[in-house]
Amino acid sequence: MSSRQPFVRLNDGHCIPALGFGTYKPIEVPKSKSLEAANLAIGVGYRHIDTAYAYQIEEEIGQAIQSNIKAGIVKREDMFITTKLWCTCFQPELVRPSLEKSLKKLQLEHVDLFIMHYPVPMKAGDNDFPLDEQGKLLLDTVDFCATWEALEKCKDAGLVKSIGVSNFNHRQLERILNKPGLKYKPVCNQVECHVYNNQSKLLDYCKSKDIVLVAFGALGTQRYKEWVDQDSPVLLNDPVLCGVAKKNKRSPALIALRYLVQRGVVPLAQSFYESEMKENLQVFEFQLSPEDMKILDGLNKNFRYLPAQFFADHPEYPFSEEY
């Protein structure tokens, strides 16, 4: 691991590299681009890679990891690989088989972090977004606390080093933390977090429980047409963010990432371009003043690029809560 990239300690004793590389790709982008991007990312020094069953690119990510290991560029133990359990596999007996499928595609014996993608179970089956005849999502009622117990078993079986959640609100986290017989706490909650939605309350809550907040959409998302409102503000064009960037002689992307790192958040950053990948790694090379941090705090408007409205009818829809 490059000495420029610090780690953050997780509540189970493992460590997560303080910046991760995001691998989601919009549907229209060919999978070969994901393979190319993951290869470039590992080549320029990323050691923390975030992927998911639902991204349908675990095979490409696996190929990139293996080819870099074979070429002697990295060792497996230097890599931190995250994948996610999709919502159609929340029934406890489906968790381990789903993880095993991910491991096979990734060509790994274990992942470093396995997280529940959303707190919202959907009907099990081959379809990742199962719909009824009216086109409504078919939801499931399985209790995510039961799913959590199955994740704990995957950790005990050595298939994953750490377990966590994504897109949980604080009440949902609380339910896991208060679950009778809890064996392992979630190490992280991966949520949308950036200057327009700085998650200060959820972050305080997570810190109080020793849970790391991992940020997706840190750069304002890739603005994928299938999920993001195309009229939403372009985060990296924000004039205040650009002003802080100019003052610090850094790009808006670096300022957006540094704002999170300095608050103890672990950001993910995605790009298909080597120059941007390299630039984003400079996040550990400078600091923002308290005044600049305050200016950036002022940009918060609790705005979500990814409100996941397709889940809005589910009783576990996480974003009706304030945090």
Ligand X SMILES: NC(=O)c1ccc[n+]([C@@H]2O[C@H](COP(=O)([O-])OP(=O)(O)OC[C@H]3O[C@@H](n4cnc5c(N)ncnc54)[C@H](OP(=O)(O)O)[C@@H]3O)[C@@H](O)[C@H]2O)c1
Q: Which is nearer to ligand X, 275 or 291 (CB)?
A: 275
In the chain, the amino acid numbered 76 is: R
CB-based contact 301:273 (threshold 8 Å): no
Q: Answer yes or no whether residue 219 interacts with ligand X by CB under 6 A.
A: yes
Write down the least CB distance from residue 270 to ligand X, Å: 3
- CA distances to 134, 136, 151, 312 from 123, rounded to whole Å, are 15, 12, 19, 16
Q: Which of 203, 217, 250, 292 binds ligand X (CB under 6 A)?
A: 217
Write down the least CB distance from residue 166 to ligand X, Å: 4
Write down the least CB distance from residue 181 to ligand X, Å: 27
In the chain, the amino acid numbered 247 is: K
Phi, psi at residue 120, to the nearest 5°?
Answer: -120, 100
Q: Which of the residues are catalytic?
A: 55
Q: Which is nearer to ligand X, 13 or 270 (CB)?
A: 270
Asked whether residue 117 is marked as a ligand-binding residue, the answer is: yes
What b/e string do you get for 224-262 counting C-beta neighbours within 10 Å, with b at 16 or more? beebbeeeeeebbebeebeebbeebebbbbbbbbbbbbe
Range in contact with ligand X (rule: CB under 6 A) among 9-17, 40-48, 62-70, 272-280: 272-280
Phi, psi at residue 7, to the nearest 5°?
Answer: -115, 160
Draw the binding track, 110-149, toward ligand X (x: CB under 6 A; -: no contact).
-------x--------------------------------
Q: Answer yes or no whether residue 23 interacts with ligand X by CB under 6 A.
A: yes
Take residue 33 and report the two structure tokens written for it. Answer: 């681009």
Q: Answer yes or no whether residue 60 interacts with ligand X by CB under 6 A.
A: no
Q: Answer yes or no whether residue 268 interacts with ligand X by CB under 6 A.
A: yes
Q: Decide: residue 197, CB within 10 A, 0-12 exposed, 13-18 middle, 19+ buried.
A: buried
Q: Answer yes or no whether residue 221 interacts with ligand X by CB under 6 A.
A: yes
Q: Within 178-207, which residues bind ligand X (CB under 6 A)?
A: 190
Report the distance separating Cα 194 and Cα 219, nearest Å: 7
Question: At what angle are helices 252-261 and 239-248 packed, to 10 degrees?
Answer: 90
Q: Which of 10, 16, 18, 24 binds ligand X (CB under 6 A)?
A: 24
Quick count: other Cβ atoms within 10 Å of Cβ 6?
12
Take residue 20 and report the two structure tokens written for it. Answer: 């991760």
Q: Answer yes or no whether residue 284 interacts with ligand X by CB under 6 A.
A: no
Q: Which of 34, 68, 83, 280 binds ligand X (CB under 6 A)?
A: 280
Number of residues lying near ligand X (CB under 6 A)? 28
Q: Answer yes or no whether residue 236 interacts with ligand X by CB under 6 A.
A: yes
Strand partners, 194: 197
Q: Which residues does the annotation place in the binding site?
A: 117
Query: Interface residues with ligand X (CB under 6 A)?
Result: 22-24, 50, 117, 166-167, 190, 216-222, 236, 251, 253, 268-273, 276, 279-280, 306
Q: Which residues does the annotation place in the binding site for substrate?
A: 117
